Amino acid sequence: VWLLPRALFRPCCPPDMPSVIFLDLDGVLNRTRDAPHLRLDDDLVARLRSLVRDTGAAIVLSTFWRAFEEYVSYVLSRHGIPHGTVIGRTPGRNSSFDFVTATASEPAFRSRAEEITVWLATHPEVASFVILDDRPSAANGDGTVGEPLASRFVQTETSVGLSDANVARCREALASKVSDAEKSVFLQAAGLAPPKSHDPRGLVDTAPGSVNEEAQALSRELSAGKLTALTDLNLKKAGLAALPPQIGELASLTKLDISLNTLSTLPAETSGLSSLRILFSLGNQFESIPSVLRSLPRLYMLSFKSNRLTHIPEDALAPTIEWLILTDNLLEELPASIGCLKTLRKCMLTNNRLLALPDSLLQCRELELIRLADNRLSDLPRGF
């Protein structure tokens, strides 16, 4: 179920699973690699307009200029590309975001390819896509993504911009549907794939129960106080029944993955993770979101997918959260305090037991996407 409050929310992916163009601007719609200001060449935009018109594709901005999403959408509309064609942007900060204070908590990813992968992982409804960019790193990043992005990448020549040949290749890519195998790759690369044993709908098949020896070794080093300088810690399948309290010593940590363990609580020392932006806790045994997480000042993405959540305390959600992933749990209600998440952009609630939504959700004015399929809703807050 897709719900967009008409008066408040910006347009997002419609329910008919659109084709998507990941769009760069510099070197695509102009003939400059690093333009000092936003500029578009009429003849190049005309080719994009034709592509959008003939394929019905939506646009997701992957460009350096994506911080100015609404302005870019307006400029494109002045060139004949209908308003609403731009449905969003990829996540991740760059220097253009220094002028957009509402996104101050958003993390920086390693590459444009990683940003695109994370967007795709959280939008499985997309039927097909193409990446239009003049830089090969948009498809292969640092080498960790590769296929299937590379097969849907159309590289323009910076000094030429979007050519007729590029448009023809885009049409071919958009005519090819994204396979379930490709979607699985996106989920794995973004760290969002749950084990089958914790996935009631059996959407993703991963091997449950096995212990990752490398992650287990890292947990021992953590307990010994040897990881204090880490910025990214992967404890997935580490065989943990409890997270070592030494986790609070990792003040530089920005990403933590504790998925596929048997965790049900977090130590009070977790409050020491003052730099943490991303927390993945998929396939654990949490029945409630720990209130200690509210004290994390920079938390941006929080995932408790495929746990045993029945309750979210009013004081549990950090107000800086922009992506909240609670799919495949046992929730019957949401806390009224969810309205305090003023920068919340994506909220994944599929396959719970929700009976109603709090009116305070309308206060989340940055919300672009909410997924509510497979719940028990009979009514919606007035204004949805």
- Confidence at residue 12, expressed as pLDDT on a 0 to 100 scale: 40
Tokens of 377: 């809703």
Q: Among residues of the chain, what percentage have pLDDT more than 70? A: 83
Does the structure show a pLDDT above 80 at 205?
A: no
How does pLDDT run across 347-373, given as a tens digit for each residue?
Answer: 999 889 999 999 999 999 989 889 898
Residue 13 pLDDT class (50, 70, 90 cuts): very low
Distance of alpha carbon 11 from the chain centroid: 16
Residue 220 pLDDT class (50, 70, 90 cuts): very high
Of residues 293 and 371, more confidently modeled: 293
Backbone angles phi, psi at 119, to 5 degrees: -60, -45
Element (H, E) at 139: helix 137-140
Q: At what angle do helices 164-174 and 42-55 cross, to 10 degrees?
A: 20
Separation of alpha carbons 310 and 221, rounded Å: 33
- Confidence at residue 188, expressed as pLDDT on a 0 to 100 scale: 67
Other Cβ atoms within 10 Å of 306 Cβ, number: 29
Does the structure show a pLDDT above 60 at 270?
A: yes
Global confidence as pTM:
0.55
- Confidence at residue 210, expressed as pLDDT on a 0 to 100 scale: 75
- Which of 152-166, 191-205, 213-227, 254-268 shows the lowest per-residue confidence on average (mean pLDDT)? 191-205
How does pLDDT run across 129-184, given as a tens digit for each residue?
Answer: 999 999 887 876 544 444 568 888 999 999 999 999 999 999 999 998 888 777 77
- Confidence at residue 107, expressed as pLDDT on a 0 to 100 scale: 65
Residue 105 pLDDT class (50, 70, 90 cuts): low
How does pLDDT run across 54-75, given as a tens digit for each residue?
Answer: 999 999 999 988 888 889 999 9
3-class DSSP state of 95: helix
- Confidence at residue 3, expressed as pLDDT on a 0 to 100 scale: 37
Backbone angles phi, psi at 260, to 5 degrees: 60, 40
The single residue listed with the structure tokens 């993703």 is 204
- Which range, 32-46, 132-146, 248-262, is most confident? 248-262
Q: Among residues of the chain, what percentage have pLDDT more than 90? A: 57
